[in-house]
């Protein structure tokens, strides 16, 4: 099996061009991986409101000819998603009640989440935000203003988390403007960016972005979302290095996914590969029960087995906290297994 030879071309392009050229069709994705005649071709489908979207640098990390590629499984829309399964709902986290202003989710003490951008660079099939009403949370200048006023009015908020969608779909100038405005709020000391864009388009980690985060008077953290060690390519490692060197804290969160990372060795390799890239594992999420994602769920006993293996094989600092979100709770729930 061979990786798709696309990376060399992509390095010369900017991230916006790479995003514009993302694969948006399941058949094309299968063709690129020489899987158009595999059993996957007959299973294509999925939610029309949540189309296939996958940038080519991420495709280049997949193995050609492998129907079980763990990266492919995360992004290929399948008919299975349309099956209604009891217990799987459209808003499993109860975020809509915590949506205190357009674009602001304030659930936890001291931290507020700003929906800084509506879309993502990749549509992950298991995503708990696939039914989120982004249209009602459109983030124009006016919404930012209202969101910032909300943060400014609550002195208990010491950390602003840019989330989405994916905040790194904003360009560097817009991000710099937003970060500057956040930094002007005296009681905010920390800025966090939750993003998956660098995993699928490492070119998004521009020197300008790195410089902006390093130079901000806010203490900056980037929380990546990597689920499998094969997602950590050379270009990502190369571009994370200057961020870390310039004092940006790098963390990762993962989701436990059937058919992707439900393997104890893979999970240990993920922690080690992250650390080798200067990134500390932060959270390991149990899958939220979102409609359309039931086929990624693991039985609780299996989750326990996997996590116990990690505890027994990893140093404590490479063990992510196993959590889930329960609607109405004031923090993420630590799972004891
Ligand atoms: C996960 C989450 C946070 C961040 O929680 P930490 O435990 O600080 O990482 C903040 N707000 C919301 C709404 C969240 O879902
Ligand atoms: S990048 Fe994150 S928010 Fe966007 S679809 Fe994937 S998991 Fe969901």
By residue range, what is the domain housing residue 20?
6-82
The rounded Å distance from CA 186 to ligand 2 centre is 31
Same domain, 106 and 163: yes
Do residues 233 and 269 lie in contact, with contact meaning Cβ atoms separated by under 8 Å? no
Instruction: Let me know if residue 39 belongs to a domain.
Output: yes
Same domain, 135 and 202: yes
Same domain, 181 and 232: yes
Same domain, 209 and 232: yes
Examine the fold and report which residue of 82, 108, 138 is the final residue of a domain before the chain moves on: 82
Q: How far apart are CA 75 and CA 183, in angstroms?
A: 36
Do residues 214 and 241 lie in contact, with contact meaning Cβ atoms separated by under 8 Å? no
Do residues 278 and 249 lie in contact, with contact meaning Cβ atoms separated by under 8 Å? no
CB atoms within 10 A of CB 325: 18
The ligand minimizing its distance to the Cα of 334 is: 1
Q: Choose which residue among 161, 252, 327 to substitute to test ligand 1 binding: the one with the highest number of ligand atoms within 8 A of its C-beta.
A: 161
User: What pTM value is reported for the model?
Assistant: 0.94
Q: Whose CA is nearest to atom 2 of ligand 2?
A: 196
Q: Whose CA is nearest to atom 8 of ligand 2?
A: 127
Q: Token digits for 248?
A: 């940006």
pLDDT at residue 128 in the model: 76
Q: Answer positive or negative: Cα dihedral of 71, 77, 80, 86.
A: positive
Total length of the chain: 337
CATH number, domain with residue 243: 3.20.20.70
Q: Tell how strand 111-115 and strand 104-108 pair up.
A: antiparallel
Same domain, 186 and 327: yes
Same domain, 304 and 183: yes
Ligand 1 atom at minimum distance from 325 CA: 15
pLDDT at residue 90 in the model: 83
How many domains in the chain? 2
pLDDT at residue 135 in the model: 59
Q: Looking up tokens 């290929």, which residue turns up? A: 76
Q: Which helix (H) or strand (E) holds 239?
A: helix 234-245
Same domain, 57 and 136: no
Q: How far apart are CA 162 and CA 220, in angstroms?
A: 11
Same domain, 75 and 221: no
Over its C-alpha atoms, the chain yields an Rg (Å, rounded) of 19
Q: Token digits for 30?
A: 């299968």
The rounded Å distance from CA 4 to ligand 2 centre is 23
Q: Whose CA is nearest to atom 1 of ligand 1?
A: 332
Instruction: Let me know if residue 273 belongs to a domain.
Output: yes
Where does ligand 1 bind, in terms of residues with CB under 6 Å?
105, 107-108, 111, 113, 161, 332
pLDDT at residue 141 in the model: 73
Q: How far apart are CA 165 and CA 45, in angstroms?
A: 22
Same domain, 37 and 121: no
The ligand minimizing its distance to the Cα of 105 is: 1
Examine the fold and report which residue of 27, 47, 82 is the final residue of a domain before the chain moves on: 82
Examine the fold and report which residue of 50, 82, 114 is the final residue of a domain before the chain moves on: 82
Q: Token digits for 276?
A: 């080798």
Distance of CA 27 to the CA centre of its chain: 24
Mean pLDDT by 10 residues, the chain (337 residues): 50 89 97 97 86 97 98 96 89 72 93 92 89 64 88 98 94 96 98 98 98 97 98 98 98 98 98 98 94 94 98 98 92 94
Same domain, 278 and 153: yes
Q: Token digits for 199?
A: 């995993």
Q: What contacts 186, CB < 8 A, 6 or more positions away?
A: none
Q: Which helix (H) or strand (E) holds 161?
A: strand 159-163
Same domain, 76 and 130: no
Q: Token digits for 224?
A: 């990546």
Do residues 3 and 227 lie in contact, with contact meaning Cβ atoms separated by under 8 Å? no
Instruction: Let me know if residue 120 belongs to a domain.
Output: yes
Q: Choose which residue among 190, 332, 333 to substitute to test ligand 1 binding: the one with the highest number of ligand atoms within 8 A of its C-beta.
A: 332
The rounded Å distance from CA 11 to ligand 2 centre is 23
Q: Tell how strand 333-334 and strand 104-108 pair up.
A: unpaired
Same domain, 47 and 125: no
């Amino acid at each position: 099996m061979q990786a798709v030879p696309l990376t060399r071309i992509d390095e010369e392009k900017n991230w916006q061009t790479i995003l514009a050229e993302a694969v948006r069709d399941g058949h094309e994705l299968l063709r690129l991986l020489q899987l158009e005649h595999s059993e996957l071709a007959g299973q294509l489908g999925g939610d029309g409101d949540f189309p296939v979207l996958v940038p080519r640098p991420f495709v280049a990390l997949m193995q050609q000819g492998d129907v079980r590629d763990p990266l492919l499984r995360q992004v290929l829309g399948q008919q299975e998603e349309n099956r209604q399964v009891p217990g799987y709902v459209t808003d499993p986290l109860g975020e809509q009640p915590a949506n205190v202003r357009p674009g602001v989710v304030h659930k936890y003490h001291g931290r507020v989440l700003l929906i800084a951008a509506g879309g993502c660079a990749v549509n992950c099939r298991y995503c708990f935000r696939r039914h989120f009403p982004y249209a009602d949370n459109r983030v124009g200048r006016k919404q930012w203003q209202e969101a910032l006023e909300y943060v400014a009015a609550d002195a208990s908020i010491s950390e602003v988390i840019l989330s989405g969608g994916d905040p790194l779909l904003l360009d560097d100038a817009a991000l710099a403007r937003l970060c500057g405005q956040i930094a002007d709020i005296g009681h905010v000391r920390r800025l966090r960016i939750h993003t998956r864009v660098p995993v699928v388009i490492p070119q998004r980690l521009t020197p300008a972005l790195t410089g902006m985060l390093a130079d901000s008077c806010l203490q900056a953290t980037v929380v990546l979302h990597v689920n499998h060690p094969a997602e950590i390519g050379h270009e990502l490692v190369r571009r994370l290095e200057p961020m870390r060197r310039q004092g940006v804290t790098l963390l990762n969160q993962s989701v436990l996914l059937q058919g992707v990372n439900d393997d104890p060795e893979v999970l240990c390799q993920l922690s080690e590969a992250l650390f080798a890239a200067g990134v500390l594992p932060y959270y390991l999420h149990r899958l939220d029960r979102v409609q359309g994602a039931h086929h990624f769920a693991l039985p609780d006993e299996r989750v326990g087995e996997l996590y116990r293996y990690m505890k027994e094989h990893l140093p404590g600092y490479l063990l992510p906290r196993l959590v889930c979100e329960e609607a109405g709770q004031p923090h993420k729930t630590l799972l004891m297994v």
